[in-house]
């Protein structure tokens, strides 16, 4: 017996279509000679750079260096923002003490703080982790606070009625109820962490995708710049995909409005 063919799913095809449209436009303007290679390199030139870097192993080294810096900086940001945001959501005194300072610092441009991070931490890896941390922590802690604050108070009242103490409220009610929103917060801020990569690698770096982008800028090597940007975007998409899969694994019952 023949099985029925699955119907065409346009929604699942749209991401591929969008990338195909961009790739087609890229080919038209470069191979068609509409824009010079100094401004927009051809896909062939960029692919040659990628294959050359893979062949000598340098590209994997740069990718790993950047991924390590982003992940470590973001991890410590999340490690500090999670308890801090939860405490702010549950304590008016703690919020009154910290929120004005956090609101002030989060508007400061991270680039302007780079000289201070060099002065305090030197030019090693710790300084680069700190740049990523500064770019994500002050946003994430407020997002965590808002997410935890949205937990239904009826859950808390029911838990108190059953005799739950403060620790049990956090462990058994607040954290599980806010977990879907927290995972979304983490997914958004890890994307922001990637946007601060070039800033983190602009000083005393000898490896990393941000480093090769800045180095190529001096020589107008736009093919290498495009290569670095594309790889940052692809690795960023991979981290976003992994966090989406983690969300589905940990909270399979959670559905967004667009998922219905």
Examine residue 4 and state whether it is found in any structural domain, yes or no: no
In a domain, 113, yes or no: yes
Q: CATH number of the domain at 235, please.
A: 1.10.3720.10
| List of the chain residues with pLDDT < 70 | 1-12, 256-260
| Per-residue pLDDT, 158 | 87
Residues near 145 by beta carbon (within 8 Å), at least 6 away in sequence: 85, 86, 88, 89, 95, 99
- 180 part of a folded domain: yes
> pLDDT digits over 67-121, tens only?
999 999 999 999 999 999 988 888 888 888 888 899 898 888 888 899 999 999 9
Q: 99 in a domain, yes or no?
A: yes
pTM: 0.86
Per-residue pLDDT, 157? 83
Q: Is residue 232 part of a domain?
A: yes
Q: Please check whether residue 7 lies inside any domain of the structure.
A: no
151: left (phi over 0), alpha (psi -120 to 50) or beta: beta
Counting the structural domains of the chain, the total is 1
For residue 203, the model assigns a pLDDT of 80
Q: What per-residue confidence (pLDDT) applies to 132?
A: 94
**For residue 33, is it within any domain?**
no
- Residue 190's pLDDT is 92
Q: How far is CA 27 from CA 19, 48, 50, 87, in A?
A: 12, 15, 17, 52
Structure confidence at residue 1 (pLDDT): 47
Residue 65 is part of which domain span?
51-252
Tell me the Cα Rg of the chain: 23
In a domain, 42, yes or no: no
């Amino acid at each position: 017996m023949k099985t029925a063919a699955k119907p065409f799913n346009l929604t699942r095809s749209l991401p591929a279509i969008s990338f195909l449209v961009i790739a087609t436009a890229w080919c038209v303007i470069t191979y068609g000679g509409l824009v010079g290679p100094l401004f927009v390199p051809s896909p062939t030139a960029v692919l040659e750079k990628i294959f050359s870097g893979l062949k000598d192993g340098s590209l994997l080294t740069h990718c790993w260096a950047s991924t390590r810096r982003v992940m470590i900086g973001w991890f410590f940001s999340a490690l500090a923002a999670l308890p801090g945001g939860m405490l702010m959501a549950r304590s008016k005194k703690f919020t009154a003490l910290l929120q004005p300072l956090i609101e002030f610092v989060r508007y400061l441009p991270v680039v302007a703080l780079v000289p201070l991070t060099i002065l305090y931490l030197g030019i090693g890896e710790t300084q680069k982790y700190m740049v990523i941390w500064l770019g994500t922590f002050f946003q994430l802690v407020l997002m965590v606070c808002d997410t935890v604050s949205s937990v239904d108070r009826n859950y808390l009242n029911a838990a108190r009625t059953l005799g739950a103490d403060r620790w049990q409220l956090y462990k058994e009610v607040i954290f599980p109820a806010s977990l879907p929103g927290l995972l979304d917060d983490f997914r958004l801020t890890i994307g922001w962490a990637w946007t601060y990569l070039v800033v983190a690698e602009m000083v005393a770096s000898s490896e990393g995708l941000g480093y090769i982008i800045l180095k190529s800028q001096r020589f107008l090597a736009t093919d290498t710049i495009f290569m670095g940007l594309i790889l940052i975007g692809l690795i960023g998409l991979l981290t976003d995909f992994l966090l989406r899969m983690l969300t589905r694994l940990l909270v399979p019952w959670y559905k967004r409005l667009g998922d219905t």
